[in-house]
Protein backbone atom coordinates (compact mmCIF):
# COMPACT_ATOMS: atom_id res chain seq x y z
CA UNK A 1 0.00 0.00 0.00
CA UNK A 2 1.43 3.36 -1.06
CA UNK A 3 2.04 5.81 1.73
CA UNK A 4 0.62 9.35 1.41
CA UNK A 5 3.19 12.05 0.93
CA UNK A 6 3.76 14.41 3.87
CA UNK A 7 2.45 17.91 3.49
CA UNK A 8 5.24 20.31 2.69
CA UNK A 9 4.26 23.12 5.06
CA UNK A 10 7.18 25.29 4.03
CA UNK A 11 6.21 25.11 0.36
CA UNK A 12 2.60 26.04 1.14
CA UNK A 13 3.72 29.00 3.24
CA UNK A 14 6.06 30.15 0.49
CA UNK A 15 3.28 30.03 -2.12
CA UNK A 16 0.97 31.87 0.26
CA UNK A 17 3.55 34.60 0.86
CA UNK A 18 4.17 34.96 -2.86
CA UNK A 19 0.44 35.37 -3.47
CA UNK A 20 0.14 37.94 -0.65
CA UNK A 21 3.14 39.92 -1.89
CA UNK A 22 1.86 39.83 -5.46
CA UNK A 23 -1.51 41.11 -4.29
CA UNK A 24 0.11 43.92 -2.28
CA UNK A 25 2.17 44.96 -5.26
CA UNK A 26 -0.90 44.75 -7.48
CA UNK A 27 -3.07 46.88 -5.18
CA UNK A 28 -0.43 49.60 -4.87
CA UNK A 29 0.58 49.70 -8.52
CA UNK A 30 -0.03 52.92 -10.48
CA UNK A 31 -1.20 54.86 -7.40
CA UNK A 32 0.79 58.02 -8.15
CA UNK A 33 -1.43 60.56 -9.89
CA UNK A 34 0.52 63.66 -8.87
CA UNK A 35 1.24 64.49 -12.52
CA UNK A 36 -2.48 64.82 -13.31
CA UNK A 37 -3.46 68.47 -13.08
CA UNK A 38 -6.84 69.73 -11.95
CA UNK A 39 -8.64 72.17 -14.23
CA UNK A 40 -10.28 75.27 -12.79
CA UNK A 41 -12.88 76.68 -15.16
CA UNK A 42 -13.73 80.25 -14.20
CA UNK A 43 -17.48 80.35 -13.67
CA UNK A 44 -20.11 82.59 -15.20
CA UNK A 45 -21.39 84.95 -12.51
CA UNK A 46 -24.97 86.06 -11.96
CA UNK A 47 -26.06 88.38 -9.13
CA UNK A 48 -29.75 88.87 -8.40
CA UNK A 49 -30.88 91.74 -6.18
CA UNK A 50 -28.91 93.75 -3.61
CA UNK A 51 -27.58 93.08 -0.13
CA UNK A 52 -30.22 94.25 2.36
CA UNK A 53 -28.71 92.41 5.32
CA UNK A 54 -31.17 89.50 5.15
CA UNK A 55 -28.80 86.93 3.71
CA UNK A 56 -28.42 85.27 0.33
CA UNK A 57 -28.13 82.03 -1.59
CA UNK A 58 -24.90 81.25 -3.41
CA UNK A 59 -25.64 78.50 -5.92
CA UNK A 60 -22.40 76.90 -7.07
CA UNK A 61 -22.42 74.69 -10.15
CA UNK A 62 -18.84 73.39 -10.14
CA UNK A 63 -17.39 71.77 -13.25
CA UNK A 64 -16.15 68.52 -11.70
CA UNK A 65 -13.70 66.04 -13.24
CA UNK A 66 -12.54 62.60 -12.04
CA UNK A 67 -9.20 63.94 -10.79
CA UNK A 68 -11.09 66.28 -8.42
CA UNK A 69 -12.01 63.16 -6.42
CA UNK A 70 -8.56 61.60 -6.25
CA UNK A 71 -7.82 62.97 -2.78
CA UNK A 72 -9.25 65.13 0.00
CA UNK A 73 -6.91 67.93 -1.02
CA UNK A 74 -8.10 67.84 -4.64
CA UNK A 75 -11.74 67.84 -3.56
CA UNK A 76 -11.06 70.72 -1.17
CA UNK A 77 -9.09 72.75 -3.73
CA UNK A 78 -11.82 72.52 -6.37
CA UNK A 79 -14.57 73.77 -4.07
CA UNK A 80 -12.30 76.32 -2.42
CA UNK A 81 -11.63 77.81 -5.86
CA UNK A 82 -15.31 78.71 -6.33
CA UNK A 83 -15.87 79.88 -2.76
CA UNK A 84 -12.82 82.13 -2.93
CA UNK A 85 -14.26 83.79 -6.04
CA UNK A 86 -17.51 84.57 -4.22
CA UNK A 87 -15.53 86.00 -1.31
CA UNK A 88 -13.42 88.27 -3.51
CA UNK A 89 -16.65 89.52 -5.13
CA UNK A 90 -17.98 90.49 -1.69
CA UNK A 91 -20.90 88.04 -1.88
CA UNK A 92 -20.42 86.20 1.42
CA UNK A 93 -21.96 87.20 4.76
CA UNK A 94 -22.70 85.44 8.04
CA UNK A 95 -26.19 84.76 6.63
CA UNK A 96 -25.03 83.24 3.34
CA UNK A 97 -26.28 79.76 2.39
CA UNK A 98 -24.13 78.01 -0.21
CA UNK A 99 -25.96 75.36 -2.27
CA UNK A 100 -23.94 72.57 -3.93
CA UNK A 101 -25.26 69.97 -6.43
CA UNK A 102 -26.59 66.44 -6.11
CA UNK A 103 -23.98 63.64 -6.09
CA UNK A 104 -21.16 66.09 -5.41
CA UNK A 105 -19.95 63.74 -2.68
CA UNK A 106 -21.01 60.49 -4.33
CA UNK A 107 -17.95 60.33 -6.60
CA UNK A 108 -15.64 60.22 -3.59
CA UNK A 109 -16.16 56.50 -4.21
CA UNK A 110 -13.24 56.98 -6.62
CA UNK A 111 -10.89 58.53 -4.03
CA UNK A 112 -7.37 57.18 -3.48
CA UNK A 113 -7.43 54.77 -6.39
CA UNK A 114 -5.21 53.97 -9.36
CA UNK A 115 -4.27 56.59 -11.89
CA UNK A 116 -6.28 54.80 -14.56
CA UNK A 117 -9.50 55.58 -12.64
CA UNK A 118 -8.94 59.27 -13.38
CA UNK A 119 -7.66 58.96 -16.93
CA UNK A 120 -10.19 56.58 -18.48
CA UNK A 121 -13.20 58.18 -20.16
CA UNK A 122 -15.52 55.29 -19.28
CA UNK A 123 -17.23 55.17 -15.89
CA UNK A 124 -17.73 51.39 -15.97
CA UNK A 125 -14.02 50.85 -16.61
CA UNK A 126 -13.19 53.25 -13.78
CA UNK A 127 -15.45 51.47 -11.31
CA UNK A 128 -14.16 48.04 -12.39
CA UNK A 129 -10.67 49.26 -11.57
CA UNK A 130 -11.86 50.32 -8.11
CA UNK A 131 -13.51 46.95 -7.54
CA UNK A 132 -10.50 44.92 -8.69
CA UNK A 133 -8.11 46.82 -6.46
CA UNK A 134 -10.45 46.34 -3.47
CA UNK A 135 -11.64 42.85 -4.37
CA UNK A 136 -11.08 41.27 -0.94
CA UNK A 137 -13.39 43.80 0.69
CA UNK A 138 -15.78 43.93 -2.24
CA UNK A 139 -16.64 40.22 -2.39
CA UNK A 140 -18.21 39.94 1.10
CA UNK A 141 -20.27 43.08 0.42
CA UNK A 142 -21.38 41.67 -2.94
CA UNK A 143 -22.43 38.34 -1.43
CA UNK A 144 -24.53 40.08 1.23
CA UNK A 145 -26.07 42.67 -1.13
CA UNK A 146 -29.86 42.53 -1.42
CA UNK A 147 -30.73 45.02 -4.16
CA UNK A 148 -30.97 44.29 -7.87
CA UNK A 149 -27.67 45.96 -8.76
CA UNK A 150 -25.40 44.12 -6.34
CA UNK A 151 -22.20 45.62 -7.72
CA UNK A 152 -23.23 49.23 -7.11
CA UNK A 153 -24.59 48.39 -3.67
CA UNK A 154 -21.41 46.54 -2.70
CA UNK A 155 -19.09 49.22 -4.05
CA UNK A 156 -20.74 52.09 -2.18
CA UNK A 157 -20.87 50.07 1.04
CA UNK A 158 -17.20 49.17 0.66
CA UNK A 159 -16.08 52.79 0.33
CA UNK A 160 -18.74 54.41 2.54
CA UNK A 161 -16.66 55.04 5.67
CA UNK A 162 -13.88 56.84 3.81
CA UNK A 163 -16.41 58.67 1.62
CA UNK A 164 -18.31 60.03 4.61
CA UNK A 165 -15.12 61.11 6.35
CA UNK A 166 -13.71 62.92 3.31
CA UNK A 167 -17.02 64.60 2.52
CA UNK A 168 -17.59 65.89 6.05
CA UNK A 169 -13.96 66.87 6.68
CA UNK A 170 -13.74 69.00 3.54
CA UNK A 171 -17.16 70.67 3.80
CA UNK A 172 -16.80 71.43 7.52
CA UNK A 173 -13.43 73.04 6.85
CA UNK A 174 -14.81 75.16 4.00
CA UNK A 175 -17.90 76.25 5.96
CA UNK A 176 -15.66 77.38 8.80
CA UNK A 177 -13.06 79.05 6.58
CA UNK A 178 -15.65 81.18 4.79
CA UNK A 179 -18.06 81.54 7.75
CA UNK A 180 -21.07 80.36 5.73
CA UNK A 181 -23.74 77.67 5.86
CA UNK A 182 -23.22 74.98 3.22
CA UNK A 183 -25.86 72.63 1.82
CA UNK A 184 -23.47 69.87 0.82
CA UNK A 185 -25.17 68.65 -2.34
CA UNK A 186 -25.63 64.92 -1.83
CA UNK A 187 -23.72 61.71 -1.23
CA UNK A 188 -24.74 58.04 -1.29
CA UNK A 189 -24.23 56.41 2.13
CA UNK A 190 -25.66 53.42 4.02
CA UNK A 191 -28.12 54.46 6.72
CA UNK A 192 -25.99 57.36 8.04
CA UNK A 193 -26.38 59.07 11.41
CA UNK A 194 -24.73 62.10 12.98
CA UNK A 195 -22.61 61.44 16.06
CA UNK A 196 -21.37 64.75 17.41
CA UNK A 197 -19.93 66.40 14.33
CA UNK A 198 -19.17 63.19 12.46
CA UNK A 199 -21.08 61.21 9.83
CA UNK A 200 -21.30 57.57 10.90
CA UNK A 201 -22.36 54.91 8.40
CA UNK A 202 -24.29 51.87 9.62
CA UNK A 203 -25.74 48.61 8.43
CA UNK A 204 -28.91 49.20 6.49
CA UNK A 205 -30.10 50.54 3.13
CA UNK A 206 -28.18 52.95 0.93
CA UNK A 207 -29.72 56.43 0.70
CA UNK A 208 -29.08 59.50 -1.42
CA UNK A 209 -28.45 61.96 1.41
CA UNK A 210 -27.74 65.66 1.98
CA UNK A 211 -26.15 67.35 5.00
CA UNK A 212 -25.96 70.95 6.20
CA UNK A 213 -22.70 72.40 7.55
CA UNK A 214 -22.60 75.58 9.66
CA UNK A 215 -20.11 78.44 9.81
CA UNK A 216 -18.60 77.27 13.12
CA UNK A 217 -17.65 73.97 11.52
CA UNK A 218 -20.50 71.98 13.06
CA UNK A 219 -22.82 69.59 11.27
CA UNK A 220 -26.62 69.70 11.66
CA UNK A 221 -28.04 66.54 13.23
CA UNK A 222 -30.82 66.46 10.62
CA UNK A 223 -30.19 64.41 7.47
CA UNK A 224 -32.18 64.92 4.27
CA UNK A 225 -32.80 61.67 2.38
CA UNK A 226 -34.25 61.40 -1.09
CA UNK A 227 -37.76 59.95 -1.21
CA UNK A 228 -38.69 59.82 -4.90
CA UNK A 229 -36.03 57.81 -6.67
CA UNK A 230 -35.70 57.78 -10.44
CA UNK A 231 -35.56 54.41 -12.18
CA UNK A 232 -31.76 54.23 -12.32
CA UNK A 233 -31.57 54.71 -8.54
CA UNK A 234 -34.19 52.17 -7.57
CA UNK A 235 -31.96 49.20 -8.37
CA UNK A 236 -29.54 49.94 -5.52
CA UNK A 237 -30.94 52.73 -3.28
CA UNK A 238 -33.77 52.90 -0.74
CA UNK A 239 -36.51 55.54 -0.62
CA UNK A 240 -36.92 57.67 2.49
CA UNK A 241 -40.34 58.29 4.01
CA UNK A 242 -41.75 61.69 3.03
CA UNK A 243 -43.09 62.05 6.55
CA UNK A 244 -39.53 62.02 7.95
CA UNK A 245 -38.75 65.29 6.18
CA UNK A 246 -37.31 68.01 8.45
CA UNK A 247 -36.27 71.63 7.86
CA UNK A 248 -33.13 73.42 9.09
CA UNK A 249 -32.87 76.53 11.28
CA UNK A 250 -30.27 78.86 9.75
CA UNK A 251 -29.15 82.43 10.33
CA UNK A 252 -31.21 83.48 7.30
CA UNK A 253 -34.39 81.59 8.21
CA UNK A 254 -35.97 78.15 8.03
CA UNK A 255 -34.44 76.17 5.20
CA UNK A 256 -35.89 73.16 3.37
CA UNK A 257 -33.57 70.90 1.34
CA UNK A 258 -35.02 68.61 -1.31
CA UNK A 259 -32.84 66.37 -3.47
CA UNK A 260 -33.52 66.65 -7.21
CA UNK A 261 -36.73 64.75 -8.13
CA UNK A 262 -38.24 65.31 -4.67
CA UNK A 263 -38.77 68.94 -5.70
CA UNK A 264 -41.38 67.76 -8.24
CA UNK A 265 -43.86 66.19 -5.80
CA UNK A 266 -46.76 67.92 -3.95
CA UNK A 267 -46.30 65.68 -0.88
CA UNK A 268 -42.87 67.17 -0.27
CA UNK A 269 -44.18 70.73 -0.47
CA UNK A 270 -46.92 69.83 2.00
CA UNK A 271 -44.18 68.96 4.48
CA UNK A 272 -42.28 72.16 3.69
CA UNK A 273 -45.39 74.28 4.28
CA UNK A 274 -46.35 72.52 7.50
CA UNK A 275 -42.89 73.17 8.95
CA UNK A 276 -42.82 76.84 8.00
CA UNK A 277 -39.77 76.92 5.75
CA UNK A 278 -39.33 80.08 3.65
CA UNK A 279 -36.06 79.06 1.97
CA UNK A 280 -35.56 76.13 -0.40
CA UNK A 281 -32.30 74.56 -1.62
CA UNK A 282 -32.40 71.89 -4.34
CA UNK A 283 -29.25 69.93 -5.23
CA UNK A 284 -29.81 68.22 -8.61
CA UNK A 285 -28.19 66.19 -11.36
CA UNK A 286 -29.48 65.75 -14.93
CA UNK A 287 -28.14 63.22 -17.42
CA UNK A 288 -27.40 62.49 -20.26
CA UNK A 289 -25.85 65.52 -21.92
CA UNK A 290 -28.36 67.54 -23.89
CA UNK A 291 -31.40 66.15 -22.08
CA UNK A 292 -32.77 69.62 -21.31
CA UNK A 293 -33.53 70.24 -25.00
CA UNK A 294 -35.27 66.89 -25.54
CA UNK A 295 -38.99 66.20 -25.19
CA UNK A 296 -40.09 65.56 -21.61
CA UNK A 297 -41.15 61.94 -21.06
CA UNK A 298 -43.15 62.50 -17.86
CA UNK A 299 -42.19 61.65 -14.31
CA UNK A 300 -39.33 59.17 -13.93
CA UNK A 301 -39.64 56.43 -11.32
CA UNK A 302 -43.10 57.27 -9.95
CA UNK A 303 -46.58 58.03 -11.32
CA UNK A 304 -47.35 61.56 -12.49
CA UNK A 305 -49.10 63.59 -9.75
CA UNK A 306 -52.74 64.37 -10.42
CA UNK A 307 -52.05 68.03 -11.25
CA UNK A 308 -49.76 67.21 -14.19
CA UNK A 309 -51.09 68.26 -17.59
CA UNK A 310 -50.86 65.07 -19.66
CA UNK A 311 -50.62 67.08 -22.87
CA UNK A 312 -47.19 68.30 -21.71
CA UNK A 313 -45.73 64.80 -21.99
CA UNK A 314 -43.74 64.41 -25.22
CA UNK A 315 -44.60 68.02 -25.98
CA UNK A 316 -42.65 70.42 -23.77
CA UNK A 317 -38.87 70.17 -23.26
CA UNK A 318 -37.16 68.78 -20.18
CA UNK A 319 -36.13 72.33 -19.24
CA UNK A 320 -39.70 73.58 -19.48
CA UNK A 321 -40.84 70.69 -17.30
CA UNK A 322 -38.26 71.61 -14.63
CA UNK A 323 -39.61 75.15 -14.58
CA UNK A 324 -43.26 74.10 -14.48
CA UNK A 325 -43.32 71.07 -12.22
CA UNK A 326 -40.29 71.65 -10.02
CA UNK A 327 -39.68 74.62 -7.74
CA UNK A 328 -41.13 77.11 -10.23
CA UNK A 329 -44.58 75.58 -10.19
CA UNK A 330 -44.77 74.52 -6.54
CA UNK A 331 -42.68 76.75 -4.29
CA UNK A 332 -45.14 79.61 -3.92
CA UNK A 333 -47.99 77.43 -2.68
CA UNK A 334 -45.70 76.10 0.05
CA UNK A 335 -44.77 79.58 1.30
CA UNK A 336 -41.24 79.58 -0.14
CA UNK A 337 -39.90 83.10 -0.67
CA UNK A 338 -36.45 82.27 -2.01
CA UNK A 339 -35.17 79.11 -3.70
CA UNK A 340 -32.01 77.89 -5.44
CA UNK A 341 -31.69 74.81 -7.67
CA UNK A 342 -28.19 73.81 -8.88
CA UNK A 343 -26.95 70.94 -11.05
CA UNK A 344 -23.79 68.84 -11.07
CA UNK A 345 -21.76 69.67 -14.18
CA UNK A 346 -18.35 68.84 -15.60
CA UNK A 347 -16.81 65.89 -17.41
CA UNK A 348 -17.21 62.87 -15.14
CA UNK A 349 -16.13 60.04 -17.40
CA UNK A 350 -18.91 59.38 -19.95
CA UNK A 351 -21.85 59.99 -17.60
CA UNK A 352 -23.00 63.16 -19.34
CA UNK A 353 -24.64 66.14 -17.66
CA UNK A 354 -27.03 69.00 -18.23
CA UNK A 355 -28.95 71.62 -16.28
CA UNK A 356 -28.91 75.34 -15.51
CA UNK A 357 -29.13 77.03 -12.14
CA UNK A 358 -32.72 78.03 -11.39
CA UNK A 359 -33.50 80.81 -8.91
CA UNK A 360 -36.88 81.57 -7.35
CA UNK A 361 -37.58 84.85 -5.62
CA UNK A 362 -40.96 86.17 -4.48
CA UNK A 363 -42.93 84.68 -7.31
CA UNK A 364 -40.39 85.04 -10.10
CA UNK A 365 -38.09 82.50 -11.77
CA UNK A 366 -34.70 83.18 -13.30
CA UNK A 367 -32.53 80.70 -15.22
CA UNK A 368 -28.77 81.13 -15.59
CA UNK A 369 -28.58 80.91 -19.39
CA UNK A 370 -24.87 81.61 -19.83
CA UNK A 371 -24.27 78.24 -21.46
CA UNK A 372 -21.24 77.55 -19.27
CA UNK A 373 -21.03 74.45 -17.12
CA UNK A 374 -19.39 76.24 -14.18
CA UNK A 375 -21.62 78.95 -12.75
CA UNK A 376 -22.05 80.91 -9.54
CA UNK A 377 -25.43 82.50 -8.88
CA UNK A 378 -25.95 84.89 -5.99
CA UNK A 379 -29.49 85.76 -4.96
CA UNK A 380 -29.91 88.33 -2.21
CA UNK A 381 -32.93 87.99 0.08
What is the DSSP secondary-structure string of 290-323? TGGGSBP---SSSPPPTTS-GGGTTTSBHHHHHH
Q: Which of 76, 53, 46, 30 is nearest to 177 (CA)?
A: 76
Query: With 90 as the cut, is the pLDDT of residue 7 above it?
Result: no
Q: How many other β-carbons are positioned within 10 Å of the β-carbon of residue 101?
A: 30
CB 120 within 8 A of CB 114: no
The CATH number that domain 45-380 falls under is 3.60.110.10
| Predicted pLDDT of residue 131 | 95
- pLDDT, residue 14, reads 57
> Using CA atoms, how far apart are residues 299 and 313, in angstroms rounded to an integer?
9
pLDDT at residue 254, as a whole number: 97
Mean pLDDT of the chain: 92
Q: Supply the pLDDT for residue 196.
A: 86
pLDDT at 10 over 90: no
Classify residue 335 as exposed, middle or buried by CB count within 10 Å of its CB (0-12, 13-18, 19+): middle
Could you read off the pLDDT of 299-338 as tens digits, one per residue?
Answer: 999 999 999 999 999 999 999 999 999 999 999 999 999 9
Of 339, 337, 345, 335, give the one whose Cα is nearest residue 326: 339
Q: What is the pLDDT of residues 103-113, one digit of tens each?
A: 999 999 999 99
Could you give the C-alpha distances from 328 to 217, 297, 324, 353, in angstroms and in order? Answer: 32, 19, 6, 21
Q: Which pLDDT score is estimated for 20?
A: 47
pTM of the model: 0.91
Cα-flanking dihedrals φ and ψ of residue 57, to 5°? Answer: -95, 140
The mean per-residue pLDDT over the stretch 353-376 comes to 91
At residue 266, the pLDDT reads 96
Q: According to the model, what pLDDT value does residue 374 have?
A: 95
pLDDT at 179: 97
Interval 289-295 mean pLDDT: 97
Amino acid sequence: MEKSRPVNTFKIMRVFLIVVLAYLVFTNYDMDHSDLQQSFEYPAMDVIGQNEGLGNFIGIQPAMNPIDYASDSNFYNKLDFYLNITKTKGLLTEKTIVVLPEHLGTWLVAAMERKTVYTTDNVEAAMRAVIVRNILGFLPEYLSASKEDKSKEALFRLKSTSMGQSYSTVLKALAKKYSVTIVGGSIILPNPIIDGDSIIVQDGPLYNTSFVFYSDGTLDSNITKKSFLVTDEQCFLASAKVGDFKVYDTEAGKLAVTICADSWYPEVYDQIKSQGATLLAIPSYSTPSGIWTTKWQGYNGAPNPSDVDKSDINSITEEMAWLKYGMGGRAQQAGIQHGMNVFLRGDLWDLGDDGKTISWQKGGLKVNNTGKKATITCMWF
